[in-house]
Amino acid sequence: MNNLKKIGLTALAGSLASISAHAAEMTVSGATVLTYTDEDASEVTGNPYGMKTNIGFTASGEVNGYTVSYMQTSADQFAGMSSARLSVDMGDMGTVAFDQGSGSGLGTIDDKTPTAAEEIWDGLDGLTAGGLVGTAGASGVWNYVNTFNGVTLNAAARKGSGTKNADGASSGAAANAGQGAWDFALTTDGSMLGVDGLAIGAGYGEASRDGAGATDDDHWTVFANYSAGPVTFGAQMSEISSGLSGATAEETEAWGIAFNINDNLSVSYGERDVDFDAAGGTTTTEKGEGVAVAYTMGSIKIAGNINEVSDNGGTVGSNDEMTEIAVSFAF
């Protein structure tokens, strides 16, 4: 019996040695954001002060000839607000990653209009879907990134719902949906077109639907930004078509302009129209606009947004506005 124990321990030690850890470089970063938020007259602001704290860990090292990296960012005292990403860089064959909240695929270009701070829809009610595209999401997603002749492909796919599963766990399908979704984004700069300062992109995705008469959800978007000196102008078009019978389609047109007054101060203004096309032929247009300003002093940034929207979410007479001032510290 003692000999058997020795053999077992020796074999276990050998297996552990074969998967021993390799040297990796780890970095730690963090940030704190203090905000003052003022809601519109129809909402109770209460205590307008808030704070977000982030701490991020990044590790990278060579494993069997490939560069393997891991990222985890936790927000708000680790209260369920964390993102993680495990990626393998295979050189010319591209990078494969498993994403748990960092952002992949079509969602990386859902709104590329220029802004000095937050987007013009940030902090407004009812805009979870309103024109923001992305079918696969950013949780429980397989992600592939590679660049071909100056064009970057960022593709994503998931099975079932987009949830953050722990190891050994699984989840069901998304609500009213089938067992999967996929999407991709293509982006490039103006060098291949001979236009300096140009950035363009497009993307498409589908999410499967279950049920009689249901088809796939379709999402697509295109954008173009052009920078000339301190000024950047951008425009974007998007569409979301639901596969559910009788569902409302969303068509978005947005534009924005940002101006760097100097190395520290920038301002921006943008507008966005979202047409909600009901199955019965009625169309309601949500109109939003926002102005932003940001001032940076080393690792300190002071930013402000004033955003407002009318006929919010396609509901006539539903208006909202938000003012926010944020002071952030990076360390």
Which stretch, 56-70, 172-186, 305-319, has highest mean pLDDT?
A: 305-319
- Statement: residue 161 has pLDDT above 90: no
* CA dist., res. 257 & res. 120, Å (int): 12
- Statement: residue 198 has pLDDT above 90: yes
The pTM of this model reads 0.82
The beta-strand segments (E) located in 137-176 are: 139-148, 151-159
User: Please, how many CA atoms are within 13 Å of residue 24, restricted to the half-sphere of its CB?
Assistant: 19
Tally of CB atoms within 10 A around 49: 9
- Statement: residue 302 has pLDDT above 50: yes
CA 144 to chain centre: 15
- What band does 287 get if pLDDT is binned at 50, 70 and 90? very high
* CA dist., res. 270 & res. 265, Å (int): 17
Sign of CA pseudo-dihedral 158, 189, 29, 70: positive
* CA dist., res. 71 & res. 99, Å (int): 10
Give the three-class secondary structure for 309. strand
Using the 8-state DSSP alphabet, how is residue 87 labeled?
E
Spatial neighbors of 324 by CB under 8 A, at least 6 apart, are 35, 36, 37, 38, 118, 122, 123, 304, 305
* CA dist., res. 121 & res. 313, Å (int): 11
* CA dist., res. 286 & res. 274, Å (int): 5
Stretch 65-87: mean pLDDT? 74
CA 11 to chain centre: 46
- Statement: residue 188 has pLDDT above 50: yes
Spatial neighbors of 61 by CB under 8 A, at least 6 apart, are 22, 23, 24, 25, 67, 68, 69
